[in-house]
């Protein structure tokens, strides 16, 4: 198993997940995530080198449907739920030229 | 028997047959349940939203159809509580999260349509742990739900609102979703029947996603027969869900009386020891005796890898959640916190909109998927998932069904585990393996613990074996201590 999760790791992960954490939250989450990951270390003893991973419990492949037109969601109804709309599109603040 | 019980514990089957025959009106049935809501909802908080007016209109329509000689369907006039992560067109669907507060979906979940087509009447949207992440319904942005059997205790979770609604007589049927036990564990803690069907049996279209390879919708009911009837209504193939199983639903309700003679039932050794309260384990052993007395061949089964289920689950489920919940970005729906740029708006909206447990799981999942850790955590957990599936397959060579506790303990006090996530997660050790394997399992009320609170025993079956599973559940229901 990798090294114990650090406060810096948690800050980095929060950044990846687009979450802003306070110092208190950082502290608390570091301890709580470490406890869960410690518990998960019990799988370390298992030899699974030759075991294939399971990503999905039901083996379904190539699920296709007939290529026919069916009703889709009503545009006005969908846009009515958006925080901001302009010209039938979702409106957002500027994003180009900014650091993420 | 039905005459002696109060109206609000009437079963779905009894209500539907009485409404279909004209013996009771759907409106009278509904009003009885709305009266129960008026009397106790302030104390229980099962609902995020009660839809009294809409329900009255729906009930009146059922009565109009009966009067016109039509059959409204197998759930005619049955009041239903929907977990508030099931989409209802034009009706707020919050997932008990501030990030979706006020959102009105532009479509109905498939299960919502199928219930309506069968004559059911939706009475409200039920509380849950935010985005179904929790085992106590305390992680709701709108406050906790209390256990109707003892209001100082949690109802379990995450489908605690739907379950409490049934236990309190607010609705005859609840629909929940079960990702790691979120139907079965609250069913056990509140003393009702709760079932997770085979993965893919029930369409997930319109179920707000938590962990897509584990999530499955299922019923919460007073009786096994009600569970069978509801599952026949909501189950079956749906082209709108690409993971939906093509096979037709088998007959369930009509085979419930077939008994368990000759069925081989194994008590799962690994789920009867450490971490399981002695009174709960005692009920499971008594349940095994009931099955044996009814003609089942009962033995001890070993499924060694289930002991690694919790570890695998708490890497896989958060990983999938971190991906699924990336859609909440303040752009197309839900909460937006204004900021000068889109990245800042995304960050501010997510930070303000998600509660602590959701943030914790998003972080855990993001970490487990991040560069340098993927193989050690997520990749390894997926391999452990394979081991669990293999061990179940081996056990099912010797047994038709397995028997285990549902929850390691009876209902615990509100607040007891909120500050320690790992302790809370340990509630799920007996239920998680079925989700990882995609297999059906049902919790049946079976007596009480030393504290007098309900105990649930869990029956597990191979994929698609809902019929023998519910036959055995019916035997346990019949033989449960009164």
Nearest to A60 among B243, B367, B377 (CB): B243
What integer pLDDT is reported at residue A2 of this predicted model? 65
Calculate how close chain A gets to B419, using CA atoms only, in Å: 9
What b-and-e string marks burial along B436-462, b requiring 16 or more CB atoms within 10 Å of the CB?
A: bbbbbbbbbbbbbbeeebbbbbbbbbb
In tens digits, what is the pLDDT along chain B, a chain of 482 residues?
A: 333 344 478 999 999 999 999 999 999 999 999 999 999 999 999 999 999 999 999 999 999 999 999 999 999 999 999 999 999 999 999 999 999 988 999 999 999 999 999 999 999 999 999 999 999 999 999 999 999 999 999 999 999 999 999 999 999 999 999 999 999 999 999 999 999 999 999 999 999 999 999 999 999 999 999 999 999 999 999 999 999 999 999 999 999 999 999 999 999 999 999 899 999 999 999 999 999 999 999 999 999 999 999 999 999 999 999 999 999 999 999 999 999 999 999 999 999 999 999 999 999 999 999 988 898 899 999 999 999 999 999 999 999 999 999 999 999 999 999 888 888 899 999 999 999 999 999 999 999 999 999 999 999 999 999 999 999 999 999 999 98
What integer pLDDT is reported at residue A1 of this predicted model? 54
What integer pLDDT is reported at residue B50 of this predicted model? 98
Distances (CA, A) of B296 to B265, B267, B299, B332: 7, 12, 9, 54
The residues in B 64-103 lying below 8 A from A, measured between CB atoms, are 103
Is A39–B345 a contact, with Cβ atoms under 8 angstroms apart? no
Among B350, B139, B341, residue whose Cα is nearest residue A17: B350
Q: Indicate the SS3 state at residue A19.
A: coil
Structure tokens at B198: 């085979």
Measured between beta carbons, the chain A residues lying within 8 angstroms of B339 are: 93
Residue B274: other Cβ atoms inside 10 A = 9
Is A93–B338 a contact, with Cβ atoms under 8 angstroms apart? yes
Please give the sequence-ordered ranges of beta strands (E in DSSP) within B284-379, or none if there are none: 297-301
Instruction: In whole angstroms, give the CA distance from residue B235 to residue B291.
Output: 27
Work out the angle at residue B110's Cα, subtended by the Cα atoms of residues B104 and B115, and round it to the nearest 5 degrees: 100
Is B384–A39 a contact, with Cβ atoms under 8 angstroms apart? no
Instruction: In whole angstroms, give the CA distance from residue B23 to residue B76.
Output: 12
What integer pLDDT is reported at residue A99 of this predicted model? 54
Is B438–A98 a contact, with Cβ atoms under 8 angstroms apart? no
What integer pLDDT is reported at residue B3 of this predicted model? 36
Number of helical H runs and strand E runs in chain A: 3, 2
Instruction: In whole angstroms, give the CA distance from residue B405 to residue B167.
Output: 20
Q: Establish how many alpha carbons lie within 13 A of residue A77's alpha carbon, considering only the half-sphere containing its beta carbon.
A: 11
Instruction: In whole angstroms, give the CA distance from residue B156 to residue B347.
Output: 31
Active site residues of B: 83, 158, 182
What integer pLDDT is reported at residue B464 of this predicted model? 97
Instruction: Look at strands B264-268 and B79-83 and give their pairing.
Output: unpaired
The sheet carrying B217-221 orders its strands as: B47-50, B121-126, B79-83, B173-177, B217-221, B193-196, B441-448, B454-460, B401-405, B264-268, B297-301
What integer pLDDT is reported at residue B78 of this predicted model? 98
What integer pLDDT is reported at residue B1 of this predicted model? 33
Interface check for B421 against chain A (CB to CB < 8 A): the answer is: yes
User: How is chain A split into domains, by residue range?
Assistant: 1-46
Measured between beta carbons, the chain B residues lying within 8 angstroms of A7 are: none
What integer pLDDT is reported at residue B455 of this predicted model? 98
In tens digits, what is the pLDDT along chain A, a chain of 100 residues?
A: 567 899 999 999 999 999 999 999 999 999 999 999 998 888 877 889 999 999 988 877 888 888 999 889 999 999 999 999 999 999 999 987 655 5
Residue B228: other Cβ atoms inside 10 A = 27
Is B350–A39 a contact, with Cβ atoms under 8 angstroms apart? no
Structure tokens at A11: 């800050």
Q: How far is CA A38 from the centre of its chain?
A: 22
Structure tokens at B122: 């939706």
User: How is chain B split into domains, by residue range?
Assistant: 2-274+276-306+390-479
Q: What is the dihedral of CA B206, B97, B134, A25, to 10 degrees?
A: 140
What integer pLDDT is reported at residue B436 of this predicted model? 98
Structure tokens at B248: 């037709």
Instruction: In whole angstroms, give the CA distance from residue B331 to residue B61.
Output: 38
> Rg (Cα) of chain B, in Å, rounded?
21
* ipTM for the assembly: 0.93
Residue B380 neighbours by CB under 8 Å, 6+ apart: A43, A46, A48, B315
Work out the angle at residue B431's Cα, subtended by the Cα atoms of residues B425 and B437, and round it to the nearest 5 degrees: 115
Q: Indicate the SS3 state at residue B299.
A: strand
Residue B277: other Cβ atoms inside 10 A = 17
Instruction: Look at strands B217-221 and B173-177 and give their pairing.
Output: antiparallel
What integer pLDDT is reported at residue B150 of this predicted model? 98
SS3 string, B189-244, reads HHCCEEEECCCCCECCCCECCCCCCCCCEEEEECCHHHHHHHHHHHECCCCCCCCC
What integer pLDDT is reported at residue B5 of this predicted model? 40
Measured between beta carbons, the chain A residues lying within 8 angstroms of B237 are: none
Residue B149 φ/ψ, nearest 5 degrees: -75, -25
CB contact at 8 A, B401 and B469: yes
Calculate how close chain A gets to B362, using CA atoms only, in Å: 7
Torsion B425-B430-B435-B436 (CA) sign? positive
Residue B363 burial (C-beta neighbours within 10 Å; 0-12, 13-18, 19+): buried
Distances (CA, A) of B109 to A47, B217, B371: 42, 11, 36
Nearest to A2 among B329, B351, B376 (CB): B376
**CATH code for the part of the protein at B2-274+276-306+390-479:** 3.90.1300.10
Residue B45 neighbours by CB under 8 Å, 6+ apart: B127, B142, B143, B144, B145, B146, B161
Instruction: In whole angstroms, give the CA distance from residue B110 to residue B241.
Output: 9
Is B106–A10 a contact, with Cβ atoms under 8 angstroms apart? no
What integer pLDDT is reported at residue A62 of this predicted model? 84
> Rg (Cα) of chain A, in Å, rounded?
23
Calculate how close chain A gets to B372, using CA atoms only, in Å: 9
Distances (CA, A) of B393 to A95, B32, B461: 51, 46, 10
Q: Which CATH number, 1.20.1740.10, 1.10.274.10, 3.30.499.10, 1.10.20.60, labels domain A1-46?
A: 1.10.20.60
CB contact at 8 A, B172 and B12: yes
In a mutagenesis test of the B interface, which of A12, A18, A29, A98 is the best target, namely the one with the most B β-carbons within 10 Å? A18
């Amino acid at each position: 198993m990798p090294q114990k999760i650090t406060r810096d790791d948690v800050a980095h992960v929060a950044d990846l997940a687009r979450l802003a954490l306070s110092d208190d939250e950082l502290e608390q989450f570091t301890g709580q995530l470490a406890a869960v990951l410690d518990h998960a270390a019990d799988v370390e003893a298992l030899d699974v080198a030759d075991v294939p991973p399971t990503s999905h419990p039901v083996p379904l492949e190539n699920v296709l449907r007939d290529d026919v037109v069916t009703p889709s969601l009503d545009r006005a109804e969908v846009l009515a739920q958006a925080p901001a709309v302009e010209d039938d599109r979702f409106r957002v603040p500027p994003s180009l030229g900014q650091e993420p | 028997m039905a005459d002696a019980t109060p109206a609000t514990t009437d079963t779905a089957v009894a209500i539907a047959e009485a409404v279909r025959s004209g013996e009771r009106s759907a409106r009278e049935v509904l009003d009885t349940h709305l009266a129960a809501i008026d009397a106790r909802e302030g104390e229980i908080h099962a609902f995020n939203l009660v839809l009294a007016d809409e329900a009255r209109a729906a009930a009146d329509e059922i009565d109009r159809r009966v009067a016109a000689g039509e059959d409204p369907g197998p759930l005619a006039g049955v009041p239903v509580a929907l977990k508030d992560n099931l989409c209802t067109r034009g009706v707020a669907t919050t997932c008990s999260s501030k990030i979706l507060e006020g959102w009105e979906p532009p479509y109905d979940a498939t299960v919502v349509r199928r219930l309506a087509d069968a004559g059911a009447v939706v009475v409200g949207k039920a509380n849950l742990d935010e985005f179904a992440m929790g085992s106590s319904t305390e992680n709701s942005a709108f406050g906790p739900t209390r256990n109707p059997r003892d209001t100082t205790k949690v109802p379990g979770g995450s489908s605690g609102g739907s379950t409490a609604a049934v236990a309190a007589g607010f609705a005859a049927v609840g629909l929940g979703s079960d990702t790691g036990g979120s139907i079965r564990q609250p069913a056990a803690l509140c003393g009702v029947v709760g079932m997770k069907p085979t993965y893919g049996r029930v369409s997930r279209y319109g179920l707000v996603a938590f962990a897509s390879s584990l999530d499955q919708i299922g019923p919460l009911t007073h009786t096994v027969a009600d569970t069978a009837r509801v599952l026949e209504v909501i189950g079956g193939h749906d082209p709108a869900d690409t993971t939906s199983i093509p096979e037709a639903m088998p007959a369930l309700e009509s085979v419930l009386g077939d008994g368990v003679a000759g069925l081989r039932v194994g008590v799962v050794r690994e789920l009867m020891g450490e971490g399981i309260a002695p009174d709960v384990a005692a009920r499971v052993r008594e349940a095994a005796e009931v099955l044996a007395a009814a003609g089942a061949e009962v033995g001890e089964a070993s499924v060694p890898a289930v002991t690694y289920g919790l570890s695998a689950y708490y890497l896989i489920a958060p990983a999938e959640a971190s991906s699924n919940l990336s859609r909440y970005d303040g752009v197309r729906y839900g909460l937006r916190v204004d900021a000068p740029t889109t990245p800042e708006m995304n960050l501010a909206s997510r930070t303000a909109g998600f509660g602590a447990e959701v943030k914790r799981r998003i972080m855990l999942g993001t970490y487990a998927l991040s560069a340098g850790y993927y193989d050690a955590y997520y990749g390894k957990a997926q391999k452990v998932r394979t081991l669990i599936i293999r061990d179940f397959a081996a056990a099912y060579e010797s047994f038709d069904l397995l028997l285990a506790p549902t929850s390691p303990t009876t209902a615990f006090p509100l607040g007891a585990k909120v500050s320690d996530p790992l302790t809370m997660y340990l509630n799920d050790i007996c239920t998680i393996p079925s989700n990882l394997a995609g297999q059906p399992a049902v919790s049946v009320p079976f007596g009480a613990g030393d504290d007098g609170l309900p105990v649930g025993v869990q029956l597990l079956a191979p994929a698609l074996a809902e019929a023998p599973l519910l036959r055995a559940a019916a035997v346990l229901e019949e033989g449960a201590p009164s």
